[in-house]
A and B are shown apart, each in its own frame.
Chain A
Amino acid sequence: EMMMTQSPATLSVSPGERATLSCRASQSVNSNLAWYQQKPGQAPRLLVYGASTRATGIPARFSGSGSGTEFTLTISSLQSEDFAVYYCQQYNNRPITFGQGTRLEIK
């Protein structure tokens, strides 16, 4: 089973600053990597797919990069509504697997 490892587990950042979240796959997933945002009591929301393509309606401050086994989600200037848990997901191989999540909290 493909393992997805996210780091850090928790990231404390001040509003207006940049946040960088990492996701590592145990083997290559090519560019079949998505990022989701989840707020308490809500369903996940798709942010980025194909490693670097923003989903419909996602603000430009969210950007994804990487390929193969190393991926990054960058939020360029944190807004209050961005504090949430973020998950990466590989859809290159079955079974689909998610990272364990990074909690982005207000510093």
Chain B
Amino acid sequence: EVQLVESGGGLAQPGGSLRLSCAAYGFIFSGHAVSWVRQAPGKGLEWVSTISAGGSNTYYADSVRGRFTISRDNSKNTLYLQVNSLRAEDTAAYFCAKASGTYFGPFDIWGQGTMVTVSS
């Protein structure tokens, strides 16, 4: 079955860090760009970051640039997001998503999401 499974979310203090993971199953992970998209509670969708199929190109939203780092390990079929210097406004469900066309969409496969809560 084609799926993405996120993990690594949880409660973090302001200024803290977490490492989110996204494991891919059922498709050739190394052949596709993948992204992180987040959704604050009760709010809409916000693109966070994208990494190319080989990992050499990375892109970030202005709101996270310099604090978040996207990476991937194609030998493990896994995507990562290192989130540092967390702020209250980073509280959200974080989804990983596979791009089916260009680097940036459309996103045809999504994970179920992992929740990040930033609070003291």
Contact = CB atoms under 8 A, between A and B. Distances in A.
Contacts of A20: none
Which of A42, A43, A44, A87 has most chain B Cβ within 10 Å? A43
Interface string A32-61: 101010000011111001100001100000
Nearest to A89: B105
Given A89-B45, A98-B44, A43 B113 contact: yes
14 contacts: A32-B102, A43-B110, A43-B111, A87-B44, A89-B45, A91-B101, A91-B105, A94-B59, A95-B59, A95-B62, A96-B50, A97-B47, A99-B44, A101-B45
Determine chain B's interface SS by DSSP, over half rule.
strand
Contact of A44 (B50, B61, B95, B101): B95
Interface residues of B, number: 23
Chain A interface size, as a band, is 20 to 34
Interface of A: 32, 34, 36, 42-46, 49-50, 55-56, 87, 89, 91, 94-101
Contacts of A43: 95, 110-113
A63 to B, nearest CB: 16
A43 to B, nearest CB: 4
Contacts of A36: 45, 107
A97 B104 CA distance: 10
